[in-house]
Amino acid sequence: MLSVIIPTRNSERALVSTLACLVPAALEGFIAEVLVADGGSRDDTAIVADAAGCKFTVLQGSLGERLKAAAASARAPWLFFLRPGTILDPPWVGEARRFVERPAPKPCAATFRRGAPGQAALRDALSLLAAALGAAPRPEQGLIVAKDFYQQIGGHAARAADPEAELIRRIGRRRITRLASIAFAAR
């Protein structure tokens, strides 16, 4: 199962749309918990998280430190890092479940394809071509990774300018599976 980790700071509106796309997976029992690692929001982010049944924690420090602390407290064997405002296509649940349940010969992770709902076929083809040519996944695509593998590679770097992208770089493109569902930003 998954522990979803969402870093926030003044993210109340973005958080609503992201939490909404997680509901089907939570109802199926695929999501064990949602951890909101907040960096000191002054809006109603805490109220949104509480209403959705998330574990809301205000953590001091850099984004990397907040993500690493949340991962350390996660109960599930798989971590799903997701930015507030990211929405996933409905088939994401089945694809993610197949990914985490399949026996993996070596440590790996997964992300979703970048895109937009109803995206033109040409743009979708260009996105797939970029991925095939080795374009690295981006943090807004989400990242599913086994907790033990995450710990083995040292988790998020506390001092990295972009700890999410830096973690993806350390995992490496060859160990990242691209799932077919699309991740896109809420408008």
Task: Give 121-146 pLDDT, tens digit per residue.
Answer: 444 555 555 555 456 667 789 999 99
Is there a contact between 1 and 28 (Cβ–Cβ < 8 Å)?
A: no
* Per-residue pLDDT band at 161 (split at 50, 70, 90): very high
Question: What pLDDT does residue 120 have?
Answer: 45
Beta strands in the chain (DSSP E): 2-8, 31-38, 55-58, 78-81, 86-88, 109-114, 143-146, 176-185
| pLDDT on residue 122 | 46
CA 155/CA 178 separation, integer angstroms: 20
Q: What are phi and psi of 46, to 5 degrees?
A: -65, -40
List of domains in the chain: 2-185 (3.90.550.10)
pLDDT in tens, 4-53: 999 999 999 999 999 999 999 999 999 999 999 999 999 999 999 999 99
Query: From CA 163, how far away is CA 137, in angstroms rounded?
Result: 14
